[in-house]
Amino acid sequence: MRDSNGRPLAIDLGITIVQNGDISQVLPQGASHQGVAINTPPLEPADLETLAESATGVLIMLDQVTDPQNVGAIFRSAAAFGAKGVILQDRRAPPLAGALAKAAAGALERLPCAQVTNLSRALDTLAEAGWRVVGLAGESSTSLTDALDGAPTVLVFGSEGEGLRRLVSERCDVLARIPMPGGFESLNVSSAAAVALFAASQAAGLPDRLPD
């Protein structure tokens, strides 16, 4: 298609057309596509203080969870269960793009994400604003359902290998485990996040769905 001057309309719109070649050649390695790609500005990060100031609902914090598909799946669950946002450490988290964005299935564009330098200090900020911090730890003797009281809650998840780091764990008001009567000792972190988000949404009395 061409404009009134005979120029390809794609050029006027800033669109690059790849002819006789694979579009993967002009995309980052591992990028997922179906033959079409759009170059957009990076997502604007959320501000931690903004997330903290209205202490209601549920927030998610990830402590060194680095697998992009797991993080993307957690974003998707967080959006589905009405969480207010996600908090990541800026140096220990995968880029908010590529495989992560694909696993998030659109949740990246809907859910605020704050990236902070120090998670422990971020938890101090949240506690001062009225948030209660619940860390997920399989070795805890406290059940998650007992730990959730409907208060504004930050759910903190550590890496699958090492779990929560000491300084992050010490900032938690309570450490809790997901009961597993089937005998398994642990869940994939994204699966654990989905279970915990459902339990937290029920404890907080969140509606089953947004009004039409």
More confident residue, 97 or 83: 83
Separation CA 204–CA 108 (nearest Å): 23
Residues spanned by the domain of 9: 1-39
The reported pLDDT for the residue numbered 14 is 56
pLDDT at 51: 93
CA distance 153 to 10: 48
Count of other CB atoms within 10 angstroms of residue 24 = 15
Does the pLDDT of residue 3 top 90, yes or no? no
CA distance 78 to 60: 7
Q: Are residues 65 and 120 in the same domain?
A: yes
Q: Are residues 115 and 177 in the same domain?
A: yes
Count of Cβ atoms closer than 10 Å to residue 120 Cβ: 15
**Would you say residue 101 lies in a domain?**
yes
| In a shared domain, residues 197 and 169 | yes
Give the model's pLDDT for residue 19.
54
pLDDT of 1: 47
What number of other Cβ atoms are within 10 A of residue 42's Cβ? 8
Per-residue pLDDT, averaged over 130-134, amounts to: 97
Residue-wise pLDDT for 21-73, tens only, equals 567 776 666 666 666 666 666 677 889 999 999 889 999 999 999 999 999 99
Here the tokens at position 144 are 């998650």
Asked whether residue 85 carries a pLDDT value surpassing 70, the answer given is yes
Is the pLDDT reported for residue 129 higher than 60?
yes
150 and 58 in a common domain: yes
What local confidence, expressed as pLDDT, does residue 40 receive? Answer: 64
Mean pLDDT of the chain: 85
Q: How many domains does the chain have?
A: 2
Q: What's the CA gap between 110 and 93, in Å, rounded?
A: 19
158-209 pLDDT, tens per residue?
988 889 999 999 999 999 999 988 877 778 999 999 999 999 999 988 777 6
Query: Residue 13 and residue 171: Cα distance in Å, rounded?
Result: 50
What pLDDT is attached to residue 9? 47
Does one domain contain both 88 and 30? no
79 and 171 housed in the same domain? yes
What distance in Å separates the CA atoms of residue 36 and residue 104, rounded to the nearest whole number?
Answer: 19
Helical pair 189-203 and 68-80, crossing angle rounded to 10 deg: 20
